[in-house]
Structure 1
Amino acid sequence: MPFIDFQTNLPAGSFSEDFVKKLSSCVAAALGKPEDRMNVVVKAGLLMMIAGSCSPCVMLSVSAIGVTDTADKNKEHSAKIFEFLTTELRLPEDRIVIQYHTLQPHQVGKKGTVMSFL
């Protein structure tokens, strides 16, 4: 049950429901997770700065159970996600930052319990 938090200073009008679906599909494929388990939030039009510049940028946070716990895995995830974002948004790689967070099943609640019991 991955959680994707996409933050950008690009205008909100730049994003559609189609973008959210494509982002979800891309990250699901990169992580090897089913699309129906994805949780995605897109926050646009934010005041942001990366590397000392307020030029167009993206910060993406990926939180998931069992697939973001090694450098080798995250290197593979990054390659796929960066390819999508640079193509879709026409941003250079140095204007995109991704954070990976490993979740444990007991840290994710669903259906009145936690994932450990589902």
Structure 2
Amino acid sequence: MPFLALQTNLPSSSFPEGFMRKLCSCAAASLGKPEERMNLTVQPGLPMLIAGSCSPCVSLTVSAIGVTDTAEKNKEHSAKIFQCLSSELGLPEDRIVLQFHALEPHQVGKKRTVMTFL
């Protein structure tokens, strides 16, 4: 049950139609998770500064169980997700940053319990 949290200074009108589904599909494929398990929040129009500049930018946090726990895995995820974000939003890669967080099953609640018991 991966969680994606995208923050950007782009206005919501800058997102192409179907952007959220495309990002979820791209991330699901990279993470090896079913698309129906993906969770995404998008916060547009935020005051943001990346690398000393307030030019258009995106910060994406990727949190998942068992697939974001090594540098090797995250390097592969990073390449695929950067490609998706860059092509969908028309941003150069130096205006995109990703954060990866490894979750444990006991840290994710669902159906009145935690993933450990599902």
Distance 1:116 1:16 in 2: 37
Query: Could you report, residue by residue, the CA deviation over 1:4-48 in whole angstroms, capped at 9, with x for unpaired residues?
Result: 001100011122661111111010001010001000001101100
Answering whether residue 106 of structure 2 is matched by residue 106 of structure 1, we say: yes
> How large is the Cα RMSD of the aligned pairs?
0.9
* TM-score normalised by the chain length of structure 1: 0.97
Alignment-derived partner of residue 12 in structure 1 = 12
Number of residue pairs the alignment of both structures matches:
118
- Structure 1 stretches lacking a partner, 5+ long: none
Alignment-derived partner of residue 72 in structure 1 = 72
Give identity over the alignment, percent. 72
| Structure 2 counterparts to residues 1-118 of structure 1, below 5 A | 1-15=1-15, 18-118=18-118
> Aligned with 2:18: secondary structure?
helix
Stretches (4+) displaced over 6 A? none
- Structure 2 stretches lacking a partner, 5+ long: none
